[in-house]
Amino acid sequence: MRPTKEMAEKLNELLEKNYDSEKGFLTAADAVKNERLISFFKEKAQQRYNFGHELKAEIRTFGEEPEKGSSMKSGIHRAWMDLKSALNTDREEAVLEEVIKGEKAAVAEYNEIIRDDGFPPSTSNLLIKQRNAIETTLKEVKDLEDIYD
Structural domains of the chain ordered from first start = 5-148 (1.20.1260.10)
CA distances to 18, 47, 55, 62, 93 from 124, rounded to whole Å, are 17, 19, 11, 14, 34
Of 25 and 76, more confident: 25
Interval 29-50: pLDDT, tens: 988 889 999 999 999 999 999 9
CA distance 122 to 128: 10
Closest CA to 61 of 108, 101, 115, 3: 3
pLDDT at position 116 over 70:
yes
Q: What is the pLDDT of residue 142?
A: 94
Would you say the pTM of this structure is higher than 0.75? yes
Of 27 and 82, more confident: 27
Percentage of the chain beyond pLDDT 90 is 59
- Residue 89 binned pLDDT confidence (cut-offs 50, 70, 90): low
Of 72 and 6, more confident: 6
DSSP secondary structure letter of residue 119: S
Q: Mean pLDDT for the chain?
A: 86
Q: Calculate the CA 106 to chain-centre distance.
A: 5
* H-helix segments, 32-74: 35-61
